[in-house]
């Protein structure tokens, strides 16, 4: 291995570690309900999108997820709406989260797919457990594709696509972030 | 169980058993859902020949198809040989359906088109026309598709009655007042809530009273523009009278307002100019088309028993699909005006997604409350005490002075449980019938 190869390999490892650390810290902010700090990790131009999964035939794979910015989705929004969701969560009379659910966000299988200038595309898997009141458990499992943008030497989420494996949502609400 | 004791119409009370009893749930399927006409979808979902989507007719799985020409069929999604669903895709385009078990195949009209070993082992004697997919009766009403498996049901027009035809037609008019003015946004939103289906139905039927549920979202601006409160009509300055409208004979209910006068368009503050320009032009066109009747604004309602809708600038139609006494699947179709520019459709879609469904900042609190109410119907002691539906009892009147509001409906102005009483009185008649 040449010195140049070793330098590239080291840079790749450092980037991998940085992105994983970023996702872990983000999950911690959500689980500790530090939502204002979580918002700070999102780019002002973020697109936060969770399509609805459909059962599609093998020759129509494009039908499997509803399309961004034209079809129905679970979420398809920018930072303005996310700020409102945070404000609602912090209000104390948003009954769907009062008392608040206990959540655990796990992000795994993080893989840097591409890097393009300041933008890093990372693919990952998530497991989100939300326990609520005495007996309620909501379990959300799926895949994420994030575009992280480096600005002033900090990463921000510029785009988040969240592919939930469920088709019919088996939970009454989506009051957590992914 | 004595089914005639569930409701006390004079007292305005209803037994909690109506929400928790599995026996009543099974009786509902037979007596409330089977005889009903059900919304199953919209013609805009079937733009091309061969298009299909899965839906539900009552609790039956059905395929809604468009064959050659424009014939729309609603087919029971169950192979006549062994009952398999012959369609396991939510939507698509096809020339027919093949059962994955033994390979019986059916056309878009449900006809049995292929049977393996038809000649050799059925000796060509299988009476194929008799063994097609079961077809529901279908009716198309201003773009909306309705179905029933009950041969004894009256035609859809009679099931709705003249008054609900007027309100449903109005719901389906675009913002410019043109008939059949909407198209469905791709993707039906589907989710499950651990509560009886009637908690959703009575809420949509006429609950003007539950503002407290939504106090958290009232402080935020989740309206069309994202800059104003959740209801677009909050921008309208002309005084209006909110009212509950019910057809007591059929159980259908409407939440609506009537404006005192035809007014000018009041812009949605903060919305892009193109959006306000579109709605202003529509507002004026609607007044030209409908005249005095343009004073009507539908907020929402329920076509008995389980087709529900919201309106007032936020047109969605949905189904409460009971899975058991204590669990309901909800399906929701989101609509945008067909002729609107893309920016209007985008603005509306974002409004729907932050308002309605499991991700909706308004409806999340409804679902939480219905789930909690369900718990109040389960235990032995709690079940003994009926629910109270006495809000604004005794104030109902006929539709005058605006006779176009209907001849058969009764109306209570302002906040009332008028519609819930009408809904449950009709429900209880069907449940108690011998």
Q: What ipTM does this complex have?
A: 0.96
In this prediction, residue B147 carries a pLDDT of: 98
Taking the C-alpha atoms of residue A32 and residue A103, their distance in angstroms, rounded to an integer, is 9
CB contact burial B199-237 (16+ within 10 A = b; e otherwise): bbbbbbbbbbeeeebbebbeebbbbbbbebebbbbebbe
Is B365 close to A172, i.e. CB distance below 8 A? no
Contact criterion met (CB below 8 Å) for B416 and B392: yes
Is A169 close to B191, i.e. CB distance below 8 A? yes
Is B191 within 8 Å of chain A by CB? yes
In this prediction, residue B106 carries a pLDDT of: 98
Instruction: Give the closest-approach CA distance of B411 to chain A in angstroms.
Output: 31
Among B41, B141, B142, CA closest to B90: B41
Contact criterion met (CB below 8 Å) for B44 and B182: yes
CB < 8 Å to A72, chain B: 185-189, 334, 349, 352-353
Start-end of H helices in B133-211: 156-172, 197-206
Residue B333, beta-bridge partner list: B317
- Please report the DSSP string for B233-267 in residue order: GGG--S-EEEEEEE-TTT--EEEEEEESS--PPPP
What's the rounded mean pLDDT across residues A59-65? 96
Q: Which residues contact B254 (CB under 8 A, 6 or more apart)?
A: B164, B167, B244, B245, B246, B298, B300, B301, B409, B419
CB < 8 Å to B329, chain A: 168
What does residue B39 show for φ and ψ, rounded to 5 degrees?
A: -65, 130
Among B21, B33, B9, B64, CA closest to B304: B33
Can you read off the two tokens belonging to residue B36?
A: 């009903």
CB contact burial B131-147 (16+ within 10 A = b; e otherwise): ebbebbbbbebbbbbbb
In this prediction, residue A4 carries a pLDDT of: 75
What's the rounded mean pLDDT across residues B181-197? 98
Tell me the per-residue pLDDT of A19-55, one tens digit each, with 9 for 90 and over. Answer: 999 999 999 999 999 999 999 999 999 999 999 999 9
Predicted confidence (pLDDT) at residue B399 exceeds the cutoff of 80: no
Is A74 within 8 Å of chain B by CB? yes
Classify residue A65 by its DSSP letter.
Answer: B
Is A153 within 8 Å of chain B by CB? no
Predicted confidence (pLDDT) at residue A56 exceeds the cutoff of 70: yes
Taking the C-alpha atoms of residue B198 and residue B204, their distance in angstroms, rounded to an integer, is 10
Is B192 close to A72, i.e. CB distance below 8 A? no
Nearest Cβ partner for B216 among A76, A93, A169: A93
Q: What confidence tier does A3 reach under pLDDT thresholds 50, 70, 90?
A: confident
Tell me the per-residue pLDDT of A109-140, one tens digit each, with 9 for 90 and over. Answer: 999 999 999 999 999 999 999 999 999 999 99
Q: What is the torsion angle, in degrees rounded to the nearest 10, for the CA atoms of residue B195, residue B198, residue B204 and residue B209?
A: -80
Is B56 within 8 Å of chain A by CB? no
Taking the C-alpha atoms of residue B432 and residue B434, their distance in angstroms, rounded to an integer, is 6
Nearest Cβ partner for A75 among B213, B346, B353: B353
Classify residue B157 by its DSSP letter.
Answer: H
Contact criterion met (CB below 8 Å) for B179 and B169: yes
Q: Which residues contact B62 (CB under 8 A, 6 or more apart)?
A: B40, B54, B55, B56, B74, B75, B76, B77, B136, B147
Q: What is the pTM for the complete model shown? A: 0.97
Is B89 within 8 Å of chain A by CB? yes
Instruction: Give the closest-approach CA distance of A128 to chain B in angstroms.
Output: 15
Tokens 């009507």 correspond to B296
Which site among A59, A89, A90, A173 would you substitute to test the B interface, given the most B Cβ atoms closer than 10 Å to its Cβ?
A173
Taking the C-alpha atoms of residue B148 and residue B156, their distance in angstroms, rounded to an integer, is 9
Predicted confidence (pLDDT) at residue A62 exceeds the cutoff of 90: yes
What's the rounded mean pLDDT across residues B216-241? 92
Q: Does residue A142 have a cis bond before it (omega within 30 degrees)?
A: no
Q: What confidence tier does B425 reach under pLDDT thresholds 50, 70, 90?
A: very high
Q: What confidence tier does B279 reach under pLDDT thresholds 50, 70, 90?
A: very high
Q: What confidence tier does B132 reach under pLDDT thresholds 50, 70, 90?
A: very high
Taking the C-alpha atoms of residue B162 and residue B375, their distance in angstroms, rounded to an integer, is 39
What does residue B199 show for φ and ψ, rounded to 5 degrees?
A: -65, -40
CB < 8 Å to B319, chain A: none
CB < 8 Å to B350, chain A: 76-77, 81
Tell me the per-residue pLDDT of B359-394, one tens digit each, with 9 for 90 and over. Answer: 999 999 999 999 999 999 999 999 999 999 999 999
Is B100 within 8 Å of chain A by CB? no
Contact criterion met (CB below 8 Å) for B57 and B77: no
Instruction: Give the closest-approach CA distance of B397 to chain A in angstroms.
Output: 35
Tell me the per-residue pLDDT of A153-178, one tens digit each, with 9 for 90 and over. Answer: 999 999 999 999 999 999 999 999 99
In Å, how far from its chain's centre is CA A128? 10
Nearest Cβ partner for A88 among B90, B194, B217: B217
What does residue B398 show for φ and ψ, rounded to 5 degrees?
A: -75, 180
Long-range Cβ contact pairs of B2-9 (< 8 A, separation 24 or more): B3/B27, B3/B431, B3/B432, B4/B428, B4/B432, B6/B428, B6/B431, B6/B432, B7/B424, B7/B425, B7/B428, B8/B386, B9/B421, B9/B425, B9/B428
In this prediction, residue B402 carries a pLDDT of: 85
Taking the C-alpha atoms of residue B263 and residue B236, their distance in angstroms, rounded to an integer, is 9
What's the rounded mean pLDDT across residues A4-16? 91
Residue B139, beta-bridge partner list: B146
In this prediction, residue A1 carries a pLDDT of: 64
User: What is the percent of chain A with per-residue pLDDT over 90, rounded to a whole number?
Assistant: 95
Instruction: Give the closest-approach CA distance of A38 to chain B in angstroms.
Output: 19
Taking the C-alpha atoms of residue A13 and residue B358, their distance in angstroms, rounded to an integer, is 39
What's the rounded mean pLDDT across residues B212-218? 95
Is A63 close to B92, i.e. CB distance below 8 A? yes
Instruction: Give the closest-approach CA distance of B89 to chain A in angstroms.
Output: 5
User: What is the percent of chain B with per-residue pLDDT over 70, rounded to a whole number?
Assistant: 100
Is B67 within 8 Å of chain A by CB? no
Helix B363-375 and helix B197-206: axis angle, to 10°?
Answer: 130
Is B88 within 8 Å of chain A by CB? yes
What's the rounded mean pLDDT across residues B159-167? 98
Is A88 close to B191, i.e. CB distance below 8 A? no
């Amino acid at each position: 291995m040449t010195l140049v190869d070793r330098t590239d390999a080291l840079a790749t490892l450092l980037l991998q570690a940085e992105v994983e650390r970023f996702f872990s810290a983000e999950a911690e902010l959500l689980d500790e309900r530090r939502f204002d700090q979580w918002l700070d990790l999102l780019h002002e131009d973020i697109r936060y999108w969770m399509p609805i999964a459909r059962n599609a035939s093998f020759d129509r794979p494009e039908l499997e997820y509803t399309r961004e910015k034209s079809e129905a989705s679970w979420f398809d929004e920018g930072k303005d709406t996310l700020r409102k969701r945070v404000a609602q969560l912090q209000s104390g009379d948003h009954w769907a989260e009062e008392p608040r659910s206990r959540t655990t966000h796990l992000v795994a299988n993080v893989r840097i797919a591409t890097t393009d200038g300041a933008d890093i595309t990372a693919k990952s898997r998530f497991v989100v457990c939300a326990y609520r009141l005495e007996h309620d458990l909501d379990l959300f499992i799926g895949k994420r594709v994030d575009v992280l943008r480096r600005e002033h030497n900090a990463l921000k989420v510029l785009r988040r696509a969240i592919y939930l494996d469920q088709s019919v949502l088996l939970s009454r609400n989506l009051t957590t972030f992914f | 169980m004595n089914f005639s004791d569930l409701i006390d119409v004079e007292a305005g009370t209803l037994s909690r058993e109506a929400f928790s009893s599995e026996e009543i749930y099974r009786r509902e399927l037979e007596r409330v859902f089977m005889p009903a006409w059900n919304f199953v979808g919209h013609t805009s979902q079937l733009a091309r020949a061969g298009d299909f989507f899965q839906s539900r007719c009552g609790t039956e799985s059905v395929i809604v198809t468009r064959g050659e020409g424009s014939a729309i069929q609603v087919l029971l999604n169950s192979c006549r040989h062994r009952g398999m669903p012959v369609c396991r895709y939510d939507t698509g385009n096809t020339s027919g359906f093949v059962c994955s078990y033994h390979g019986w195949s059916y056309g878009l009209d449900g006809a049995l088109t292929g049977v393996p070993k038809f000649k050799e082992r059925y000796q060509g004697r299988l009476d194929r026309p008799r063994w097609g997919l079961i077809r529901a009766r279908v009716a198309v009403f201003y773009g909306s598709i309705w179905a029933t498996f009950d041969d004894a049901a009256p035609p859809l027009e009679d099931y709705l009655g003249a008054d609900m035809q007027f309100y449903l037609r109005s719901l389906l008019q675009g913002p410019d007042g043109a008939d059949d003015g909407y198209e469905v946004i791709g993707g039906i939103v589907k989710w499950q809530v651990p509560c009886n289906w009637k908690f959703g139905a009575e809420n949509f039927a006429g609950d003007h009273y539950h503002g407290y549920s939504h106090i958290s979202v009232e402080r935020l601006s989740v309206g069309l523009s994202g800059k104003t409160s959740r209801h677009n009509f909050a921008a309208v300055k002309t005084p209006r009278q909110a009212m509950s409208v019910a057809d007591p004979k059929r159980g259908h209910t409407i939440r609506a307002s009537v404006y005192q006068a035809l007014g000018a368009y009041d812009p949605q503050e903060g919305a892009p100019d193109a959006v306000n320009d579109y709605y202003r032009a529509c507002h004026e066109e609607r007044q030209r088309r409908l005249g005095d009747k343009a004073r009507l604004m539908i907020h929402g309602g329920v076509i008995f028993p389980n087709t529900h809708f919201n309106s007032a600038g936020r047109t969605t139609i949905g189904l409460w699909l009971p899975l058991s006494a204590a669990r309901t699947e909800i399906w929701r179709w989101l609509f945008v005006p067909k002729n609107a520019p893309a920016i209007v459709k985008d603005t509306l879609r974002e409004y729907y997604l932050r308002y309605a469904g499991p991700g909706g900042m308004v409806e999340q609190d409804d679902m939480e409350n219905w789930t909690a109410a369900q718990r109040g119907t389960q235990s032995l002691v709690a079940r003994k005490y009926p629910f109270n539906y006495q809000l604004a009892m005794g104030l109902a009147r006929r539709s005058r002075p605006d006779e176009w509001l209907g001849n058969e409906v009764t109306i209570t102005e302002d906040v009332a449980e008028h519609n819930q009483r009408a809904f449950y009185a009709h429900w209880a008649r069907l449940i108690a019938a011998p």
